[in-house]
Amino acid sequence: MKHTDERPRPAPALPTREPVRLVDRHGRRVGHSSFTAPDPARLVELHRAMLIGRRFNQQAGTLARQGRLAVYPSSTGQEAAQVGGVLALSDQDWLFPTYRDSVALVAHGVDPVRTLTLFRGDWHCGYDPHRYRCAPQCTPLATNASHAVGLTYAARRKGRDVAALAMMGDGATSEGDAHEAYNFAAVWNTPVVFLVQNNHWAISVPLHRQTAAPTLAHKAVGYGMKGYHVDGNDAAAVYAVVSHALAEARAGGGPAIVEAVTYRVDPHTNADAPQRYRDPAEVEHWKERDPLIRSERLIRDEGLLGDAEETERALAAFGAEADRIADTVRERLADGDELDPRSLFTDVYATVPPLLEQEHALLADELREV
């Protein structure tokens, strides 16, 4: 007799308290029983993409301070989590990013200028989601997780080999939307990997104030999913773990939560004042664990780019490429069309409510004064 509460899969094992690490903060390889570092070419590509991402973050932050962007949520310090996760995707997979994942979009191949469209205050996301297989950046926390579950559920019903990477922060795991997405993903066995970037702060709320779980990866077990706990500043480890989780999900092994432990070095956004809620010593602690420093040390120590002279030349070329991309972003935004704030009131209501009419008129008066 088949019982109605019979579970389709065995209970998953608990994730390890010690995060998976393949390269330590000094750039030295660390052995692991289940995961191995990617090949040298991929290690170099991870470093190059992180370097471009770091420079992109710096340029976008400057544009926000100059008023060319309405806001910018930097991910400086989180490059390894974003780049390592995105480069693990196959061509047919989809990416579901949040507002803090601009570096992930750039590493995914989205035009860097188009990536910033949301932060200019435009009404659309700036790029074609189908062309890049990348959903619009999601601002409401964890709502992109359900989108990823829905897309992969539909794809499986159509017999398509598609997996998805849904990105979120530690704060998003406390949202009801995350619970609903985790539950439906597990029950429907959809091929989704939820990459949680635990940067320790949900704006000004520290992690210990929002969860009592041993790790965020432990939450996976309650939903019947596998959970992985990984050093989010180790791009090699993130890439290896997410690649494994995506492959398992694609093969029918079920969704997973990957918690990447990292740190937001910059303020939450350019409108934030983190000195009001966090100790500067904590920031310095994490700067010593900078993901770019450890990957560069590995490349130099192991000669992944050749001898000392060849290494210097190649790293300088990566830096120059990152600068060129940043320069292009600045120049194209300066030459771009000015957005009309009054467009906020168009294409929403056939008959505009009186209150919105008043706000529209107020805005028009303010613009005339400017």
Mean pLDDT of 339-350: 83
Residue 27 DSSP label: S
DSSP assignment string, 294-334? HHHHHHHHHTTTSSHHHHHHHHHHHHHHHHHHHHHHHHHHH
Q: Which domains does the chain have, with CATH numbers?
A: 23-339 (3.40.50.970), 340-369 (no CATH)
**Helix, strand or coil for residue 196?**
strand
Distance, CA of 59 to CA of 143 (rounded, Å)? 28
Mean pLDDT of 272-281: 94
Q: Is the pLDDT of residue 9 over 80?
A: no
Would you state the pLDDT for residue 94? Answer: 98
Q: Is the pLDDT of residue 139 over 80?
A: yes
Mean pLDDT of 306-313: 98
DSSP assignment string, 213-262? SS-GGGHHHHTT-EEEEEETT-HHHHHHHHHHHHHHIIIII--EEEEEE-
pTM here is 0.93
Taking each helix axis from N to C terminus, what angle separates 79-86 and 235-248, rounded to the nearest 10 degrees? 40
Distance, CA of 176 to CA of 217 (rounded, Å)? 17
Would you state the pLDDT for residue 292? Answer: 98
Would you state the pLDDT for residue 57? Answer: 97
Q: How many Cα atoms occupy the beta-carbon half-sphere of 181 within 13 Å?
A: 33
Q: Is the pLDDT of residue 370 over 80?
A: no
- Identify the band that residue 141 occupies on the pLDDT scale cut at 50, 70 and 90: very high
Q: Is the pLDDT of residue 176 over 70?
A: yes
Mean pLDDT of 315-331: 97
H helix intervals, the chain: 40-65, 79-86, 102-108, 112-115, 117-120, 129-132, 143-157, 176-188, 219-222, 235-248, 280-287, 291-302, 308-335, 354-369
Share of the chain above pLDDT 90, in %: 85
Q: Is the pLDDT of residue 2 over 70?
A: no
Q: Is the pLDDT of residue 278 over 90?
A: yes
- pLDDT (tens digit, 9 = 90+) per residue, 61-84? 999 999 899 999 999 999 999 999
Q: Is the pLDDT of residue 121 over 90?
A: no
User: Which residue in the block uniquely carries the two structure tokens 């303020």?
Assistant: 267
Would you state the pLDDT for residue 1? Answer: 65
Q: Is the pLDDT of residue 8 over 70?
A: no
Distance, CA of 350 to CA of 355 (rounded, Å)? 14
